[in-house]
Amino acid sequence: MDSLDKKILSVLQQDGQISMAALSERIGLSLSACHRRVKLMEADGIIRNYAAQIDRQTVGLEVQVFIEVKLNSQRREDLEAFEKAILSMPEILECHMITGEFDFLIRVCVHSPADYEALYRSSLSAIPAVSQMKTLLSLSTVKEFRGYHLR
Percent of the chain with pLDDT over 90: 94
Q: Which CATH architecture describes the domain 56-137?
A: 2-Layer Sandwich (3.30)
State the average pLDDT over residues 39-68. 95
DSSP 5-35: HHHHHHHHHH-TT--HHHHHHHHT--HHHHH
Residue range 3-44, CATH number: 1.10.10.10
List, for residues 7-43, the tens digit of each pLDDT value: 999 999 999 999 999 999 999 999 999 999 999 999 9
Beta bridge partners of 67: 106, 135
pLDDT at 146 over 90: no
**Domains of the chain: which residue ranges?**
3-44, 56-137
C-alpha count within 13 angstroms, C-beta hemisphere, residue 54: 9
> pTM of the prediction?
0.86
Percent of the chain with pLDDT over 70: 100
Contacts of 83 by beta carbon, 8 Å cutoff, 6+ apart: 95
Query: Where residue 151 falls among pLDDT bands split at 50, 70, 90?
Result: confident
Please give the backbone phi and psi of residue 20, each rounded to the nearest 5 degrees, phi first. -60, -35
